[in-house]
Amino acid sequence: MSRPSPRTFAERLADGPLVGAEGYVFELERRGYVKAGPYVPEVILDAPDALRQLHREFLRAGADVMVALTYYAHREKLRDVGRAGDLEEMNRQAVRIANEIAAEGGTADEGALVAGNICNTWCYDPADPVRSGEVVREQYREQLGWAVEEGVDFVISETNDFLGEALIGVEVCAELGLPAMVTLASVGPTSTYDGYDYVEACRILADHGAAIVGLNCSRGPATMLPLLEKIRAAVDIPIAAQPVPYRTDDAVPSFESLVGADGRRLFPIQLEGHALTRFEMADFARAAAELGVGYVGVCCGGAPHYVRAMAEALGRDTPASRYSPALELHPVLGAGPSEAVSRQMGDWSAAS
């Protein structure tokens, strides 16, 4: 199936908030297709139908963008798991699959947009920005060169811990003529790992040509929204927000630092007890839209039910909305359960 020629990323942004859906590696790890730890997306080649299915579920739930799963599909990470020889095919196949599912439609007759993806490489060293920056630049050129040949509408450069590394991503996107959505991780309280206040870093990225700037990962809605408000006031281009669906607060602003009652670190595979509900993520979507956020999504921990709830909170009727909850039809929770149900359930009630 060939993908329709949609309006551009900028044109779609101008219509109102785009709904983003990520968290691919976390969700595929839960389904048994990605190894926690390295988080290299071997699923692209080993179980491509599993990746197709998750793309399709995000699309049905209301996502406007299919993100090629090339997060951590770069040379250094593939070498860690002994798959450096699969680098090109893994990147090309990820974009092909994203295009294939985007062509199936979604909430817009023109189909979904397709985003190439680059991320933090763990190669950038602010103490040696020239040498390490060249390593990063070459990795980005490899990945995005293949993405251009396979066909993408824009690039998401995400989970950037260093402003210096994020700027390299912007430069490579500009070389290739691709609009760049650049989002910072926000593990620290106020600044990037190379010492730039998050708001100032977004302003610098905007000045260097990013099409959209903002935050992703690390923070849940409660600790991301205050920063988003400051960023919205500081830049005159669209902003993006893709929090994690976990409960963070002022004491623990990022989910990487969450600990259990026994002091054990919960990140990355013991976070269930801190997960937000779909209703809380819907509340975030509404709050972000009211702030003027142009790209409203979810990051690590994201799943289709969150995306559907967020899309519906923004006024969308998605293909998956046909199966949205109708608890009034539940035999116990609905209004006026029958006498037979009451006898079976005893004194249980929805209020107890």
Arithmetic mean of pLDDT over the chain = 94
- What is the crossing angle of helices 87-102 and 48-61, to 10°? 40
- Residue 322 CA neighbour count, 13 Å, CB half: 4
Name the strand (E) or helix (H) holding 239: strand 239-242
For the ranges 57-66, 99-108, 161-170, which has the lowest average pLDDT? 99-108
Give residue 16's pLDDT: 87
Measured between its terminal Cα atoms, the distance across the chain in Å is: 52
Spatial separation of the C-alpha atoms in residues 42 and 82, rounded to whole Å: 11
Quick one: which H or E segment has residue 19?
strand 18-19
> How much is the pLDDT for 352?
43
Q: What is the 3-state secondary structure (H, E, C) of 97-150?
A: HHHHHHCCCCCCCCCCEEEEEEECCCCCCCCCHHHHHHHHHHHHHHHHHHHHHH
Categorize the per-residue pLDDT at 58 as very low, low, confident or very high, splitting at 50, 70 and 90: very high
β-strand partners of 246: 275
* Cα gap 281→298, rounded to integer Å: 9
| pTM for this prediction | 0.93
Mean pLDDT of 101-111: 76
Do residues 34 and 42 touch, judged by C-beta distance below 8 A? yes
Alpha-carbon gap, residue 169 to 139, rounded angstroms: 10
pLDDT at 1: 46
CB of 43 within 8 A of CB of 319? Answer: no
Helix axes 163-175, 129-150, angle to 10 degrees: 40
Partners of residue 67 on adjacent β-strands:
115
Catalogue the long-range contacts made by 247-251 (C-beta closer than 8 Å, 24 or more residues apart). 247/220, 247/222, 247/274, 247/275, 247/276, 248/219, 248/220, 248/222, 248/223, 249/222, 249/223, 250/223
Residue 117, strand partner residues: 156
- Residue 25's pLDDT is 98
Question: Do residues 253 and 246 make contact, with C-beta atoms less than 8 angstroms apart?
Answer: no
Distances (CA, A) of 139 to 143, 172, 329: 6, 10, 53
246 secondary structure, DSSP code: B
Does position 4 have pLDDT exceeding 70, yes or no?
no
d(CA 263, CA 280): 26
Residue-wise pLDDT for 80-97, tens only, equals 999 999 999 999 999 999
Q: How confident is the model over 280-316, as pLDDT tens digits?
A: 999 999 999 999 999 999 999 999 999 999 999 999 9
The answer on pLDDT for 329 being more than 60 is yes
- The share of the chain scoring above pLDDT 70, in percent, equals 92
Say if CB 210 and CB 237 are below 8 A apart.
Answer: yes
